[in-house]
Chains A and B, each alone.
Chain A
Amino acid sequence: AAGVIQSPRHLIKEKRETATLKCYPIPRHDTVYWYQQGPGQDPQFLISFYEKMQSDKGSIPDRFSAQQFSDYHSELNMSSLELGDSALYFCASSRGRPAYEQYFGPGTRLTVT
């Protein structure tokens, strides 16, 4: 079965650089969620989109932005990167409202040096 695809899987950036993370949800899934998992921590919700509109916002820094495109894929744009942004970034997708289980991608490991 098709799963959530994230690219790239690994990314190394320097401080103050920008990064773009991509997420391709499971086909026919209409909602995308972004989570950030710091080392040894639980995943923290960043932002979500339903039918290409932002549906909820969590602890996402102002330096980050995201959107969901017409084909339902989503991109997380991160600017002025800081060392503390080093983390595993997960995308998850779900279908319908109310949404039940979310299916997670493998994550993008971002390292900021």
Chain B
Amino acid sequence: AQSVAQPEDQVNVAEGNPLTVKCTYSVSGNPYLFWYVQYPNRGLQFLLKYITGDNLVKGSYGFEAEFNKSQTSFHLKKPSALVSDSALYFCAVRDGGSSNTGKLIFGQGTTLQVKP
């Protein structure tokens, strides 16, 4: 069974400092990994994805994520946090098998709080 874990309910960081939001996953086949951000009372916005290729993936708003197969992790990072980055972040996975219908399994979410 597929699963995603985000071990931190909340991450606090000062503006201008680097940030990391952690995610580990479990799938039976090759993982397709995603990060989404959710602002209050809003939908989920796609940030970035890993399908194949380079382990370091660059996405929207200066975010990037590093795929680590041996550690089954896909941590979200940003070199310099902004107050406007404060939101709820979801890691998601789907099995990359060709028969998979594409449904996403989400982690529990991590609230990022960036303080001025």
**Chain A interfacial positions (CB closer than 8 Å to B):** 4, 31, 33, 35, 41-45, 48, 50, 55-56, 58, 90, 92, 94, 98-107, 109
Contact = CB atoms under 8 A, between A and B. Distances in A.
A104 B102 contact: no
Interface stretch (B14-22, B43-51, B69-77): B43-51
Interface of B: 32, 34, 36, 41-46, 49, 51, 90, 96, 98, 100-109
Contacts of B100: 98
Given A100-B49, A103-B46, A104-B43, A31 B102 contact: yes
Contact of A43 (B41, B49, B96, B106): B106
Nearest to A55: B101
Interface of B is mostly: loop
Contact of A45 (B41, B44, B103): B103
| A4, A55, A101, A103 — most chain B CB neighbours (10 Å) | A101
A56 B96 CA distance: 15
Nearest to B49: A101
B42 A98 contact: no
A45 to B, nearest CB: 4
